[in-house]
Amino acid sequence: MPRGTGTVGDFAAWQEGPPVSQLGEFEVIARIRSKIAGRATSAGSPGAHGAIVQGIGDDASLLRLPPGWDLLWTCDIQMEGCHFLREWMAPREVGARCAEVNLSDIAAMGGQPVAVLVSLGLPAQLRIGALEQIYDGVIDAFARHGAVVAGGNVSKSETLFLDLTVLGRVEEGRALRRSGAKPGDVVFVTGWPGRAAAAVAALGAGKGILNEEGRERLRASYAAPRARVDVGRYLVENGIASAAIDQSDGVVGDLAHICEESGVGIVLEERLLPVDEDLVRLAAALEVDPLSWILGASDDYELLFTVPRAAVDPVFALPVETGVTATPVGEVVDGPQEVLLGAGGGDLRRFKGGWDHLA
């Protein structure tokens, strides 16, 4: 698998420095604390969206939000062997991806990230250079949104894992929910869904399946997603979306949650779905239907949202306002709480998709 390029990560860092077991718990914590304190997002700084009264150094972090805001909080875990492989992701990418996965939940509700707590499970032989770069990835991802690392926890583990708890804020009573979609609303998706699933397929297929450039583009899609925080904020600030969810389990699987919570159905139009050229080439090489990636289980961390038909015009300003494209792909309808796919001529079919973490 081609190595990471650009500034997102350095694979050599997995072998840098002594093992964490040689340093011991308190030296590892001291290095983490020093790294955080040396950055603009250090614990104890006010942050852009809330004051961290006390960060690392006490039994709990102390956060103070300004009046008029609701609190958002979420958590997600990334485990080696399940969510990432060292031979496919650099340490900085591992940290950044875990951050973006959590930031995506805040984005889906239209929030601003405020602070994060980072819990780490560290194998004894993990190198300290790798751990420091993992933290660089986390800190950089949150710094882009003015959020701070406020504390966390370290424990020995057989498997490397990162478990992040993120706090965000959204204007009182204005959070985007899954439960507001109405018949007649237009369904939008940001970006190019399916690339993460295609990346996993390309990894499993071996080096000869695509050229190096195509394989690296797909690898980067999985290793370095970007949470659509700016899109979520735009939707809230302009009062556009009726419902929203992040695409963490797949387009069909996640839209089904909107159907369930809103008591509606959704019909997607196959001809409207954004189809990425890398997916087309890989699907042809593997002799599979690219729709299995675009609609099925794929954790791309795009946003799926519904908009009343009278309010769709501002959505098309998203590329100018946020640099992210949103594509209209279907409509909310009366009927059973399910997602159907239209292929033209009035024919509708069910498409089962979505990731099940316990299956």
Q: pLDDT at position 146, please?
A: 86
Can you say how many angstroms the Cα of residue 224 is from the centroid of all Cα atoms in its chain?
Answer: 9
The verdict on residue 180 lying in a domain is no
The verdict on residue 342 lying in a domain is yes
The verdict on residue 220 lying in a domain is yes
User: How many of the other CB atoms lie within 10 Å of CB of 245?
Assistant: 25
Q: pLDDT at position 355, please?
A: 45
The verdict on residue 177 lying in a domain is no
User: Does one domain contain both 18 and 153?
Assistant: yes
- Residue 26 CB-half CA count within 13 A: 1
Closest CA to 225 of 115, 81, 78, 354: 78
Distance CA 225, CA 220 (A): 8
Q: pLDDT at position 113, please?
A: 94
Distance CA 50, CA 59 (A): 20
- Residue where a domain stops, chosen among 128, 145, 171: 171
Per-residue pLDDT of the chain (359 residues; tens, 9 = 90+): 333 333 455 888 888 888 888 888 878 888 887 777 766 443 334 455 556 666 666 677 777 778 899 999 999 999 998 888 888 899 999 999 999 999 999 999 999 999 999 999 999 999 999 999 999 999 999 999 989 888 888 899 999 999 999 999 999 999 999 999 999 999 999 999 999 999 999 988 877 788 888 888 999 999 999 999 999 999 999 999 999 999 998 999 999 999 999 999 999 999 999 999 999 999 999 999 999 999 999 999 999 999 999 999 999 999 999 999 999 999 999 989 999 999 876 677 777 665 444 34
Backbone Cα Rg of the chain: 21
User: Does one domain contain both 158 and 213?
Assistant: no
User: Does one domain contain both 128 and 218?
Assistant: no
Q: pLDDT at position 237, please?
A: 96
Question: Who's near 308: CB < 8 A, 6+ residues apart?
Answer: 182, 184, 185, 186, 242
What is the 8-class DSSP label of residue 145?
T
The verdict on residue 201 lying in a domain is yes
User: Does one domain contain both 230 and 282?
Assistant: yes
User: Does one domain contain both 194 and 45?
Assistant: no
Q: Is the distance from CB of 71 to CB of 112 less than 8 angstroms?
A: no
User: Does one domain contain both 249 and 294?
Assistant: yes
The verdict on residue 210 lying in a domain is yes
Interior/surface letters 167-199, b for 16+ CB within 10 angstroms, e for the rest: bbbbeeeebbbbebbeeebbbbbbbbbbbbbbb
- Give the CATH number of the domain where residue 261 resides: 3.90.650.10
User: Does one domain contain both 153 and 227?
Assistant: no
Residue-wise pLDDT for 84-138, tens only, equals 888 889 999 999 999 999 999 999 999 999 999 999 999 999 999 999 999 999 9
Q: Which domain holds residue 229?
A: 186-350
Which residue type, as a one-letter code, is found at position 356?
A: D
Instruction: Report the number of distinct structural domains present in the chain.
Output: 2
The verdict on residue 286 lying in a domain is yes
User: How many of the other CB atoms lie within 10 Å of CB of 69?
Assistant: 18
User: Does one domain contain both 223 and 345?
Assistant: yes
User: Does one domain contain both 72 and 103?
Assistant: yes
What is the value of pTM for the model shown? 0.87
The verdict on residue 141 lying in a domain is yes
Distance CA 46, CA 52 (A): 6
Q: Is the distance from CB of 245 to CB of 258 less than 8 angstroms?
A: yes
User: Does one domain contain both 337 and 192?
Assistant: yes
Phi, psi for 54 (deg, rounded to 5): -140, 125
User: Does one domain contain both 197 and 344?
Assistant: yes
Which residue type, as a one-letter code, is found at position 179?
A: S
Query: In this structure, is the dihedral angle defined by the CA atoms of residues 202, 207, 211 and 216, taken in order, positive or negative?
Result: positive
Q: Which three-class secondary structure state does DSSP give residue 220?
A: helix
Question: Who's near 115: CB < 8 A, 6+ residues apart?
Answer: 47, 50, 52, 61, 63, 147, 148, 149, 150, 166, 167
- Residue where a domain stops, chosen among 122, 148, 171: 171
- Residue where a domain stops, chosen among 171, 200, 221: 171
Closest CA to 111 of 119, 102, 120: 102
Q: pLDDT at position 109, please?
A: 97
Q: Is the distance from CB of 8 to CB of 93 less than 8 angstroms?
A: yes
User: Does one domain contain both 131 and 242?
Assistant: no
Phi, psi for 199 (deg, rounded to 5): -60, -45
- Give the CATH number of the domain where residue 115 resides: 3.30.1330.10
